[in-house]
């Protein structure tokens, strides 16, 4: 990860938003970002606990890569990769309610996908079919392939490189 991540951040940059790996000093801004979102927006986003202690513990987990999108000192997005020993990782993201629709999520996706692919991990996620905003956001995602339907109206999806899609 230490070899891959700097190159990915360098390749996928933005003049308005800084994307970086989170450190201990970023936990409070992450906590503030999560708390400032409308409760319904967090219904389907539950990768870990959202209290300060849980966020601090999550940051220390070597199998969990926490990243953020910043406009100045304000965190406007949070995204992560959770790695597993079977060379799969799960991804997720949250964008501030006032920053959606500005392309931040597209860059976050590129960073997550490329990090996983360059480390030779399969990049996956679960998505609720009842989460209209996420279903709409992924409807145009050319990297997404539905692997199977899960219980409670969830989908298991994988994000694959274009060249791999052509071979399937």
Q: What was the pLDDT predicted at 114?
A: 96
- How sure is the predictor about 164, in pLDDT bands with cuts at 50, 70 and 90? low
Distance (Å, whole) CA 108 – CA 95: 10
- φ, ψ at 51 (rounded to 5°): -80, 160
Average pLDDT for 77-90? 97
**Interval 129-163: pLDDT, tens:** 998 888 888 888 889 999 999 999 999 999 999 77
Specify the 3-state DSSP secondary structure of 74: strand
Distance (Å, whole) CA 13 – CA 90: 22
Q: What was the pLDDT predicted at 167?
A: 46
Percent of the chain topping pLDDT 90: 76
Distance between alpha carbon 76 and the CA centroid of its chain, in Å? 13
Whether the Cβ atoms of residue 116 and residue 91 lie closer than 8 Å to each other: yes
Q: What was the pLDDT predicted at 168?
A: 46
Distance (Å, whole) CA 64 – CA 95: 19
Q: What was the pLDDT predicted at 67?
A: 98
Specify the 3-state DSSP secondary structure of 164: helix
Alpha helices in 23-103 (DSSP H): 27-35, 52-59
146: DSSP letter? E
Q: What was the pLDDT predicted at 75?
A: 97
Q: What was the pLDDT predicted at 41?
A: 87
**Strand pairing of 122-128 and 88-95?**
parallel
Element containing residue 66 per DSSP (H, E): strand 64-71
Average pLDDT for 81-110? 94
Identify the structural domains of the chain with CATH numbers, from first to last. Answer: 5-123 (3.40.630.30)
Mean pLDDT of the chain: 92
Q: What is the pTM of this model?
A: 0.90
């Amino acid at each position: 990860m230490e070899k891959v991540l700097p190159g990915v951040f360098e390749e996928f940059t933005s003049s308005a938003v800084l994307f970086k790996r989170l450190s201990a000093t970023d936990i409070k801004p992450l906590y503030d970002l999560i708390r400032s979102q409308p409760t319904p927006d967090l219904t389907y986003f539950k990768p870990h606990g959202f209290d300060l202690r849980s966020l601090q513990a999550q940051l220390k987990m070597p199998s969990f890569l926490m990243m953020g999108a910043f406009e100045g000192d304000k965190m406007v997005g949070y995204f992560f990769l959770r790695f597993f020993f079977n060379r799969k990782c799960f991804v997720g993201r949250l964008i501030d309610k006032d920053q959606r629709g500005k392309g931040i999520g597209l860059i976050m996706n590129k960073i997550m996908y490329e990090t996983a692919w360059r480390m030779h991990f399969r990049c996956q996620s679960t998505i609720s079919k009842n989460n209209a905003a996420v279903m709409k956001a992924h409807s145009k995602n050319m990297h997404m392939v539905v692997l199977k339907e899960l219980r409670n109206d969830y989908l298991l999806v994988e994000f694959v490189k274009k060249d791999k899609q052509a071979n399937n």
